[in-house]
Amino acid sequence: MNFLDALAPEGNDRVLALAIDPERIPAHIAIIMDGNGRWAKGRGLPRFAGHRAGVTRVRSVVEDCSHIGVKALTLYAFSAENWKRPRAEVDMLWRLLRIYLRREIEDLQRNNIRLQSSGRVEALPAGAYEVLREAERATAHCTGMRLNLAINYSARNELVDAVNTLIDEARIEGRLSSLVVDEAMIEKNLSTAGLPDPDLLIRTSGEMRISNFLLWQIAYAELYVTNTYWPDFDRAELLKAILEFQRRDRRFGGLTAAPAAPSLSQEHEIDEIAASLTASSK
Ligand code: FPP
């Protein structure tokens, strides 16, 4: 379905959607979904109500991103540090994950969305792990958006795992003493191998932190932090983030536009500056 067709004919969402340049949609959006607890507290509700509302938001953002033409969406669902939370909250998060995945498999298939995961997922409780693998298998043939759930994820762990894999492979193949690691080798062993690097990293609820999320992959991502809590991050919020992304001047360490070749007089000036620098350093 065309994204505009999915929106109401009138209204704020449509105005925002019309302002978006369809040629410059971020290929990969990564989101730190934060603020479920504060959202619940503000309503006098228990924290789990915030997480439940957060799951509802996951569903709508996944669908919207897929309709907009985003190629990959990575959601930070559970960090390796989140085990420090009270046992009841952690158990509730696994329960919600299981319910979400079971309920979503058919919708993901219908929307041609392929599910994958990042993180040390083997450490998940058996029930959550099994349903995750089942959802990955059931959507493995889908060719549309990649939905990457970061679960029990830590970017530092991911980098350590990638380097250890390279060392193990080299040891088995008898070439450990001559092993030289380069960027491409590390990238190939990250959980996001095959996905473009995130163009846009969104964090909800106002904290200015990266929280051990995709440290390698976000080297050139545009950062967007909103005060909105995750359960309130609706379609208008998503569209605003994409519009803001499209306003950014991405230079990747270079210059905006290719500079014109220096004129003869500029070349002469450059030569003079170089000569004076050489003279002063003698
Ligand atoms: C941060 O809010 C959110 C989390 C730690 C978990 C995110 C999980 C979900 C949105 C639900 C499950 C996800 C999926 C993919 C089904 P917080 O609790 O840190 O909020 P606070 O900072 O306001 O306390």
Q: Catalytic site residue 82?
A: yes
Helix (H, G, I), strand (E, B) or coil at 280: helix
Q: Which of 31, 32, 34 to mutate to test the pocket of ligand 1 (most atoms within 8 A of CB)?
A: 34
Residue 188 lies in a domain: no
Q: Which pLDDT value is given to residue 109?
A: 98
Query: Is there a domain that residue 109 lies in?
Result: yes
Element (H, E) at 260: none
* Atom number of ligand 1 nearest to Cα 149: 15
Q: Is the CB of 135 under 6 A from ligand 1?
A: no
pLDDT value at residue 124: 98
Q: What's the CA gap between 140 and 223, in Å, rounded? A: 30
Domain span at residue 67 reads: 27-153+199-246
User: Is there a catalytic annotation at residue 107?
Assistant: no
Q: How far is CA 134 from the centre of its chain?
A: 22
Number of domains within the chain: 1
Catalytic residue among 2, 36, 82, 197: 82
Say if CB 152 and CB 93 are below 8 A apart.
no
127: in domain:
yes
Q: Are 198 and 214 in contact (CB under 8 A)?
A: yes
Q: Measured from the CA of 41, which atom of ligand 1 is nearest?
A: 23
In degrees and rounded to multiples of 5, residue 13 shows phi and psi of -60, -40
Tell me what pLDDT residue 250 has: 85
Report whether pLDDT(91) > 80.
yes
Q: What is the pLDDT of residue 12?
A: 86
Assign residue 70 the CATH number of its domain. Answer: 3.40.1180.10
Q: Does residue 258 lie in a domain region? A: no
In the predicted structure, residue 264 carries a pLDDT above the cut 70: no
Closest CA to 157 of 169, 165, 148: 165
Domain contains 119? yes
How confident is residue 269, by pLDDT bands cut at 50, 70 and 90?
low
CA distance 280 to 277: 5
In a domain, 282, yes or no: no
Query: Is any atom of ligand 1 closer than 6 Å to the C-beta of 34?
Result: yes
Ligand 1 atom nearest residue 93's Cα? 12
Q: What pLDDT score was predicted for residue 169? A: 98
Q: Is the pLDDT of residue 3 over 80?
A: no
**pLDDT above 70 (res 282):** no
Predicted confidence at residue 8, as pLDDT, reads 73
Q: What is the pLDDT of residues 115-158, one digit of tens each?
A: 999 999 999 999 999 999 999 999 999 999 999 999 999 999 99
Assigned domain for 124 exists: yes
C-alpha span between 199 and 26 (Å, rounded): 6
Res 36 pLDDT > 90: yes
Residue range 213-239, pLDDT digits in tens? 999 999 999 999 999 999 999 999 999
What stretch of H or E contains 270?
A: helix 264-281
Q: Would you say residue 278 lies in a domain?
A: no
Window from 46-55, 159-168, 198-207, 251-260 with minimum mean pLDDT? 251-260
Is the pLDDT confidence value at 268 over 80?
no
Whole-structure pTM over 0.75, yes or no?
yes
Please tell me the chain's helix, strand, coil percentages from 3-state DSSP, rounded to the nearest 5. Answer: 55, 10, 35
By DSSP bridging, strand 28-32 and strand 200-203 are parallel
Share of the chain above pLDDT 90, in %: 83
